[in-house]
């Protein structure tokens, strides 16, 4: 029977630990029946890639350059083929897969995706066939992230994240936690029962959105300052790299592609970006967002006003990927500080 601890506090005396050799064997075990995606070192950049052997995984607690959203919502995916009035969906073709090494930033982003795509059968089917395995964030001294993490994992964060298994690095070993019955079952089938269990308490804390998020929301909604956006509009080149790197950007377009046979074709769903000029264009050629300043303001307003109001969650998890990806050096942390006239580093 698994060693299960529902009270995670300072008085705990036994910490379940998995050594590196065991972890390697566990990954091999998962590879036998799953596709595994995880952080892989590609030159100087850490990216989410499909792996073939355990040694490819870089489980160092660092953020990948791009987010994990492609594992759950591919950049471009076929939804169905059509022939006349009949449809043939691709929804049953999804393989069993493992997302191995998501950080707490990425798990927070999934909280939002789970709400946005709650009734989307394609996302839900893929998510049901995905085992979520998280890892603790390495001590981060980069000001481009909003929160500075210490080596000690904050358990109250994990209580508000959905995952199956979570590894907190302790030197050359890993503290093991489960967040679901599926995670417990997988570890039991592997023959491992030395773990703690963390009960999911919902995606938000009792007090709701943080004071900083509420302050940003209030300023953007009720105290619009056009000078901020005019200045950023002169700097931004509308490349959309920030939206590609961002783990919470979920906008897409639908494309119907006909084939030579009459009445046949397919529908695909592909990522889109509010920074692209055609994004806000409607029939007749009218555009709702006519210049760069409006587009970048729209992006911030969506993340810090509309998403919190609609889902009760922040539209930004504070990972800083957008700042790293921006070729002209726009820093979201500095922009938010100007909006609320405060310290540029703070928890969202």
Which pLDDT score, from 0 to 100, does residue 300 have? Answer: 97
With beta carbons less than 8 A apart as the criterion, state whether 324 and 144 touch.
yes
Q: What is the mean pLDDT of residues 202-209?
A: 83
Percent of residues, the chain, with pLDDT higher than 90: 72
CATH numeric code, 211-249+279-340: 1.10.1060
Q: What totals of helices (H) and strands (E) does the chain contain, helices first?
A: 13, 12
Tell me the whole-structure pTM to 2 decimals: 0.87
Helix extents (H) in 191-331:
211-222, 226-235, 241-245, 292-301, 307-311, 321-325
Q: Which of 93-97, 324-328, 333-337 has the lowest mean pLDDT?
A: 93-97
Report helix, strand and coil shares of the chain as percent, to nearest 5: 35, 20, 45
With beta carbons less than 8 A apart as the criterion, state whether 68 and 132 touch.
no
Q: Where are the domains of the chain?
A: 17-73+91-197, 211-249+279-340
Q: Which of 156-165, 227-236, 276-285 has the lowest mean pLDDT?
A: 276-285
* Tens digit of each residue's pLDDT (9 = 90 or more) over 2-25: 444 344 443 444 667 899 999 999
pLDDT at 228 > cutoff 60: yes
Highest mean pLDDT (candidates 29-33, 170-174, 257-261): 29-33
**Average pLDDT over the chain, rounded to whole?**
88
pLDDT at 214 > cutoff 70: yes
* DSSP track, 100-133: EEE-HHHHHHHHHHHHHTTT-HHHHHHHHTEEEE
Q: What is the mean pLDDT of residues 288-314?
A: 94
Give every CB contact of residue 206 below 8 A, 6+ residues apart in sequence: none
* Tens digit of each residue's pLDDT (9 = 90 or more) over 97-140: 999 999 999 999 999 999 999 999 999 999 999 999 999 987 66
Q: What is the mean pLDDT of residues 50-54?
A: 97
Report residue 263's pLDDT band, with 50, 70 and 90 as the boundaries: confident
Query: Are β-strands 130-135 and 264-271 bridged in parallel, bridged antiparallel, or unpaired?
Result: unpaired
Which pLDDT score, from 0 to 100, does residue 343 have? Answer: 55
Report residue 282's pLDDT band, with 50, 70 and 90 as the boundaries: confident
């Amino acid at each position: 029977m698994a060693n299960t601890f529902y009270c995670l506090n300072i008085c705990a005396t036994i910490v379940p630990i998995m050594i590196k050799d065991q972890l390697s064997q566990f990954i091999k075990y998962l590879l036998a029946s799953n596709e595994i995606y995880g952080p892989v070192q590609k030159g100087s950049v850490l990216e989410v890639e499909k792996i073939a052997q355990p040694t490819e995984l870089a489980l160092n607690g660092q953020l990948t350059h791009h987010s994990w959203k492609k594992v759950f919502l591919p950049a471009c995916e076929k939804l169905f083929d059509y022939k006349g009035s009949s449809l043939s969906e691709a929804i049953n073709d999804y393989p069993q897969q493992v997302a191995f090494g998501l950080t707490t930033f990425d798990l927070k982003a999934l909280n939002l995706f789970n709400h946005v795509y709650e009734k989307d059968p394609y996302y839900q089917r893929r998510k049901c066939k995905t085992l979520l395995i998280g890892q603790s964030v390495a001590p981060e001294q980069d000001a481009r992230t909003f929160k500075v993490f210490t080596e000690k994992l904050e358990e109250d964060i994990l209580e508000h994240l959905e995952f199956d298994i979570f590894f907190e690095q302790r030197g050359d070993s890993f503290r093991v936690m489960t967040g679901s019955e599926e995670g417990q079952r997988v570890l039991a089938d592997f023959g491992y029962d030395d773990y703690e269990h963390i009960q999911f308490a919902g995606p938000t804390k009792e007090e709701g959105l943080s004071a900083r998020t509420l302050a940003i929301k209030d300023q953007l909604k009720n105290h619009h300052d056009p000078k901020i956006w005019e200045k950023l509009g002169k700097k931004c080149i509308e490349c959309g790299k920030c939206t590609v790197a961002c783990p919470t950007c979920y906008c897409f377009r639908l494309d119907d592609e006909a084939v030579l046979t009459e009445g046949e074709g397919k529908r695909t769903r592909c990522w889109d970006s509010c920074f692209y000029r055609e994004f806000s264009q409607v029939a007749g050629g009218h555009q709702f967002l006519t210049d760069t300043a409006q587009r970048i303001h729209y992006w911030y307003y969506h993340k810090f006003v509309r998403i919190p109001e609609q889902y009760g969650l922040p539209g930004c998890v504070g990972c800083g990927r957008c700042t790293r990806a921006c070729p002209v050096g726009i820093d979201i942390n500095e922009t938010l500080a100007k909006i609320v006239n405060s310290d540029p580093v703070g928890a969202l």
